[in-house]
Structure 1
């Protein structure tokens, strides 16, 4: 790990009174000079940037929301990619099997049927689960290693 690289591993926590998608995530962060620590990041505590304006908040999409998880992810990537040109977009259903490394400029854009949509400037995101369209999708400027299920976004 370089001196300026930061990694973050996450673990879903049981949160009383919340569904698993609304629960907190424990993050283990490693960074400069090997410093490590843990904390809780709740991606649902903060309201996403876009909460109103059609089925896909923040876009011009006015169609139906697909009922199939894989089709929903594909549709979100297509619409948010079109609505936010020159922006890296990732849609993630669950953070249980996702890890982050060197990610910067992340903005929580919206939540659609339990799928979180983010804009990301740069960094690496790894899906440690099965990696299918039901769980995540992305578009923008990136390198993808399908064997590692690793996407590295760049500006």
Structure 2
């Protein structure tokens, strides 16, 4: 890294830089260091950032009625260090249901989540990301665990039950 150079913080993800040194005797050394640029976990437009938003409780105690053709909207925001909500394309890299608990039976399907809209991806609406989860094939009495993978290498986990 050249003297006076700036670290790249313009985009999220894992990054590295190399420092090269040479002493007065002509000896050289080089060291590569890693760093990451991630979405803020602080306040984001007056709410917690980097977490699931209502109607799903981030505390994991949400239970919704099981109705034919029901939809549960999953919403979240990610923000920069200044609290500005980020809506650039490719913020969400994947969205999976990774665990289902029904009584003492635990399954790990690791499959994509069905949507009630033709677009089966998170979409940017207003100042947040939203995905309408179709619960049509889900069973009452079970708790479903979801993971939103973000392009900064982090994820947002949440769950809800159906009664």
More helix by share: 1
Which structure's CA Rg is the greater one? 2
TM-score for the superposition, normalised by structure 1: 0.25
Q: Which has the higher contact order (CA 8 A, sep 6+)?
A: 2
| TM-score scaled by length of structure 2 | 0.24
